[in-house]
Amino acid sequence: MGDQVKARVMDAEAIDRALVRIAHEILERNKGAEELVLIGIRTRGLPLAQRLGEQLTRIETYPVPVGAVDITLYRDDLKQRRSRPVHPTDIPCRLDGKHVVLVDDVLYTGRSIRAAMDALVDFGRPRTIQLAVLIDRGHRELPIRADYIGKNLPTARSEQVSVRLDEVDGENTVIILGGMDADTC
Amino acid sequence: MLIHASPHEVHEIDHVEDTIDFRGRDLLGMEDFTAAEIAAILDTVASFKEISERDIKKVPTLRGKTVINLFFEPSTRTRTSFEIAGKRLSADVINISVSNSSMSKGESLRDTADNLAAMRTDALIVRHKSAGVPHMLARYLPSPVINAGDGAHEHPTQALLDLYTIREKLGTLAGRRALIVGDIASSRVARSNIIAMRKMGMQVSVCAPLTMLPVGIEKWGVDYTSDFDAALQDVDVVMMLRIQRERHGDVLFPSLQEYSSRYCLTSARMRRAKSEVLVMHPGPMNRGVEIAPEVADGLESVILQQVTNGVALRMAVLYLIIGGV
Amino acid sequence: MLIRGGRVIDPSQGIDRHTDVWIANGRIAFLGDGREMLQQQPSGPPPRILDVPGCVVAPGFLDVHTHLREPGFEYQETIASGLAAAAAGGFTGVAAMANTQPVNDHPAVTELMLRRAAAVGGTRLYPIGAVSAGLAGKELSEIGSMHEAGIVALSDDGLPVMNARLMRRAMEYGRMFNLPVLSHCEDQGLAAGGVMHEGVVSTALGLPGVPEAAENVMVYRDIQLAAMTGAHVHIQHVSTAEAVKLIRRAKAQDIRVTAEACPHHFTLTHEAIQQYDTNTKINPPLRTAEDVEAIKAGLQDGTIDIIASDHAPHHVTEKEQDYESAPSGIIGLETSVGLSLELYHQGVLSLAQLIAKFTIHPARLLGTARGTLAVGSPADVTIIAPDQTFVVDVASLHSQSRNTPFLGWQLRGTAVATIVDGNLIFERL
């Protein structure tokens, strides 16, 4: 991308603390871990879901199933993107009656979440679908909101938010990369 | 055409894999693809295999795309495989069977292509008894053409699903040894597989009576033998081809019994092969002629997996070529 | 008419010098300085003067192998359009094969073809009579009465005469009338189903192939029959190195055999078929680079006497089929000279040698006294510009059909004027 790193907004410890908090919030809202299923949106939503799953399991001593969904085949913007690789979707159990928590790294326009919900529909009828994200950077284009947020981060459209995770990128950090200063719409 | 829409959320902005873009490309033959491209296609198959395991075997990816199955030669298996593949991706799949007589007396290939283009079809899958027909159609059609078998020339999706099956079972392709047995001279399955296997670093031998060996095959880097028993030792894959006694009035061997006694894959012959050898067949099988029933149904046989993988491979190919076009 | 400023090359007289040609009353009157003739002219209309500096003036070119498709296949070509194409290609005479419908196996058809050609005027038509009735390969056709009607040779071309005994009889019978047998050498058993040369390219393309042995066995057979009967056999469209060898050896043994090669067989190889373009489908097929070299060597040492086009028009819809179904054949009258001049540019043949392949040798085969600029001969003249570029494009072709693999080619050299009996029937000076 060739953009400059404008700011580092979270370091490894900050990420960990946010995830611990979110784990507790999930348990509080859902009154425990039974009926919970975590589904990470590939690519970086998956390691985040796995970390959350470990937290929940440790706190409640109850094994919370973790799965992954690949939204490439459900995107509404396949035409605009350059060619993307497709990875398998892995749903660990039927979702009927479950509280599904979708997990993603950055919530922006909301289109990925819409695609993920489309993908889930063929796997059963969840009791609720909730959304946990590490970063909410605003600029929603669809009526979608997150239930659990690691950090609210107001950004300009020209900026890019990059979440890097150990499991994928070899480090844990959240940074903002700058484009031009003015909004480009 | 790139539409500069408002920037969407960028997930993997600095770590997008360098994916090869197949959109809009024809799939006419393995001769047109590099090893890297073949590997990229094979890497895509697993995701599509998963869809066929769901209760609701559908994704919306090719919704609104019109895919034509134009089969000049009868074929239930390949056509059904393509039809299922397209429908599981939510495409509208239309089957057209053309008897050869109506084509030669009536509409020319060019007219057929022009008509399809006028109906704004998005992809054409074509099988014809004559080599080169998909290439001719591709010259006239703006949308991609997928070769489902042209004469004795190529059957690329068969080779791809065969490679995928081998890789799925054995883990790697490079250095593996394959033996193809049967009427090599008139087999498009053999040609496509030989080309693709060699590109992926496999060693290939063919076994057939001399009457079925094409001229110049040694230039393809392929070993030849007419001794089936000897050839079976040390191979990782043995691929049996369907046999026909007569081809264009040309008699290639004395009788099916004689062919069978020398070239049928029987349990006795299987004992000469490695215990982990894979037994493959593109279908349809002549049970008892080129392959014994107990071998076709035996533990080493991956013939049914080939069929399963065929649907997934064809889904992957359709997705790569017209997904998001 | 005065043809001024050109280089006259006439192999029949061994002439190769810059001089003018004076034509009077439809005959060659004088070869020399044209100014003298002009001064001597009586009053009357001034003679036509063709200024052709840089050009070569030769006897009228003859093509011994064309298919004019009339009667019966007028949608592909007519005698009128075919002769127009011939004139544009520089030919003052063409031999028309018998595979028309009805077949030219009877004097009535011979007369029809001659009448049509006379109505067109222009390039002369030399009819070739069928060897067998209906080209069925079973019975001899009406050879004697066709000879009276005007045929100059016998051929079942399009098809081989598979029955050796019938071929023997045809040679013996034709010999009584001095009719050579023009032989299409192809063993149908070996060739069956093949659509291109059997080799590495046919294997790669998945197309059934014709082994070269299919031609070689029949060339050898026909040479044997010619030796046995003392008849003159002419091997058509030689395409294999082995055939060239067989013919060379036969000539050394004084067997009465002549041979022709077609420009596509010394220009293209089977590699040209890579894209399944049906305009590369020909019988005999395009072969290997070694065969092309052998044919050039055969032209150079005289083993191959004649260059012929095998002009075979097919309608565009017939060629717009898959490769296996499409008919074989390409047009050639308008590209023959240009492609052959390439041999001159490559140094394979001198201009005199090349011109002989179009003039004196074809004339001997067809039994005509033309093919020469000897004083007193009918004034059939072909003028060529060996360095002028000729682009083969659809708009400029005179043939009714367009089936040629040379579309878009830029040929080095072309015919620029064609004169028959002193009449200028074509020019692009």
Q: So what's the pLDDT on residue C158?
A: 94
Q: Is C380 a catalytic residue?
A: no
CB atoms within 10 A of CB C222: 28
Would you say residue C42 has pLDDT above 70? Answer: no
CA distance B91 to chain A (A): 13
State the chains in contact with C (3 or more Cβ–Cβ pairs under 8 Å): B
Q: What is the mean pLDDT of residues C173-193?
A: 96
Distances in Å between the alpha carbon of B22 and those of B41, B318, B320, B323, C235? 9, 10, 6, 9, 52
Check CB contact of B191 with chain C, cutoff 8 Å. yes
Q: Let me know: does B47 contact B67? Beta carbons within 8 Å.
A: no
Asked whether the beta carbons of residue B59 and residue A87 sit closer than 8 angstroms, the reply is no
Per-residue confidence (pLDDT) for residue A6, from 0 to 100: 85
d(C-alpha C9, C-alpha C21), whole Å: 11
| DSSP conformation letters of B281-298 | --S---BTTTB-HHHHTS
Chain B within 8 Å of C189 (Cβ-Cβ)? no
In chain B, the residue whose alpha carbon lies closest to the alpha carbon of A2 is: B14
* Whole-structure pTM value: 0.85
Q: Return the CATH number at C296.
A: 3.20.20.140
Phi-psi region of C69 (alpha: psi -120 to 50; beta: other; left: phi over 0): left
Q: How far is B61 from chain C (nearest CA, A)?
A: 34
C380-398 burial, b at 16+ Cβ within 10 Å, e below that, comes to bbbbbbbebebebeeeebb
Verify A-C touch: 3 or more CB pairs within 8 A.
Answer: no
- On whether any CB of chain C is under 8 Å from the CB of B130, the answer is yes
Contact between residue B180 and residue B243 where contact means Cβ atoms under 8 Å apart: no
Structural domains in chain B, sorted by start: 30-153+309-322 (3.40.50.1370), 156-305 (3.40.50.1370)
Query: What CA–CA distances, in Å, run from B235 to A141, B176, C145?
Result: 57, 8, 71
Q: Which of B1, B11, B325 should one mutate to test binding to chain A, selecting the residue with the greatest count of A CBs within 10 A?
A: B11
Q: Is residue C311, in this structure, part of any structural domain at all? A: yes
Per-residue pLDDT at A61 exceeds 70? yes
pLDDT of residue B250: 77
Residue of C nearest to B139 (CA): C275
User: Residue C39: inside a domain, yes or no?
Assistant: no
Q: Total domain count for chain C? A: 1
Q: Which chain B residue shows the shortest CA-CA distance from A136?
A: B9
Looking at the partner chain, which of A85, A105, A109 has a beta carbon nearest the beta carbon of B17? A85
Q: Taking CB atoms and an 8 Å limit, are B248 and C208 in contact across chains?
A: yes
pLDDT at C408: 94
Would you call C22 exposed, middle or buried from its count of C-beta atoms within 10 A (0-12, 13-18, 19+)?
buried
Q: Where in the sequence is the domain holding C277, given as residue range(s)?
A: 60-366
Interface contact flag, B60 A118, Cβ < 8 Å = yes
What span, in angstroms and rounded, lies between the C-alpha atoms of C333 and C356? Answer: 17
SS (H, E, C) chain C: CEEECCEEEECCCCEEEECEEEEECCEEEEEECHHHHHHHCCCCCCCCEEECCCCEEEECEEEEEECCCCCCCCCCCCHHHHHHHHHHCCEEEEEECCCCCCCCCCHHHHHHHHHHHHHHCCCEEEEEECCEHHHCCCCECCHHHHHHHCCCEECCCCCCCCCHHHHHHHHHHHHHCCCCEEECCCCHHHHCCCCEECCHHHHHHCCCEECCHHHHHHHHHHHHHHHHHCCCEEECCCCCHHHHHHHHHHHHCCCCEEEEECHHHHCCCHHHHCCCCHHHCCCCCCCCHHHHHHHHHHHHCCCCCEECCCECCCCHHHHCCCCCCCCCCECCCCCHHHHHHHHHHCCCCCHHHHHHHHCHHHHHHHCCCCCCCCCCCECCEEEEEEEEEEECCHHHCCCCCCCCCCCCCEEEEEEEEEEECCEEEEECC
Average pLDDT, chain C: 95
Q: Check if C327 contacts B (Cβ < 8 Å).
A: no
Closest of A76, A65, A72, A75 to residue A124, by C-alpha: A65
State the chains in contact with B (3 or more Cβ–Cβ pairs under 8 Å).
A, C
Query: Is B183 touching C (CB cutoff 8 A)?
Result: no
How sure is the predictor about A122, in pLDDT bands with cuts at 50, 70 and 90?
confident
CB A138: neighbour CB atoms within 10 A? 13
Q: Rounded to an integer, what distance in angstroms lies between the CA atom of residue B146 and that of residue B314?
A: 10
Q: Would you state the structure tokens that stand for residue B133, as one six-digit string? A: 């027909």
pLDDT at position A1, please?
A: 47
Subunit contact B19:A44, Cβ cutoff 8 A: no
Q: Which residues of chain B have pLDDT under 70?
A: 1-18, 99-107, 246, 248-249, 325
Between B136, B188, B215, which is nearest C322 by CB?
B136
* pLDDT value at residue B28: 97
Q: Is residue C247 part of a domain?
A: yes
Beta bridge partners of A152: A136
The answer, for C213 touching chain B at a CB cutoff of 8 Å, is no
Question: Could C276 and B250 be called an inter-chain contact, meaning their C-beta atoms sit closer than 8 Å?
Answer: no
- Which pLDDT value is given to residue B249? 66
Q: What is the pLDDT of residue B73?
A: 86
Given this model, what pLDDT does residue A2 score?
53
Pairwise CB contact (< 8 Å): A122 & B61: no
Q: Which pair of structure tokens corresponds to residue C327?
A: 């008919």
Task: Spell out the residues 6+ positions from residue C25 whose beta carbon is closer than 8 angstroms to its own.
Answer: C422
Query: How many pairs of residues across B and C have Cβ atoms under 8 Å apart?
Result: 67
pLDDT tens track for C9-31: 999 999 999 999 999 999 999 89
Whether chain C has a CB inside 8 Å of the CB on B281: the answer is: no
Distance from CA of B240 to the nearest CA of A (A): 32
Q: Which chain A positions have a beta carbon within 8 Å of B14's beta carbon?
A: 1, 162
- CA separation for the pair B166, B196 (Å, rounded): 12
- Inter-chain contact C207–B151, Cβ cutoff 8 Å? yes
Tell me, yes or no, if B151 comes closer than 8 A to chain C by beta carbon. Answer: yes
Which domains are present in chain A? 12-155 (3.40.50.2020)
| Domain-embedded: residue C52 | no
Cβ contact, residue pair A112, B9, below 8 Å: yes
How far apart, in Å, are the Cα atoms of B285 and each of A135, A153, B97, B156, B266? 57, 63, 23, 19, 14
Q: Which of C156, C310, C380, C421 is catalytic?
A: C310
Of B128, B152, B191, the CB nearest to C322: B128
Closest CA of chain B from C318, distance in Å: 9
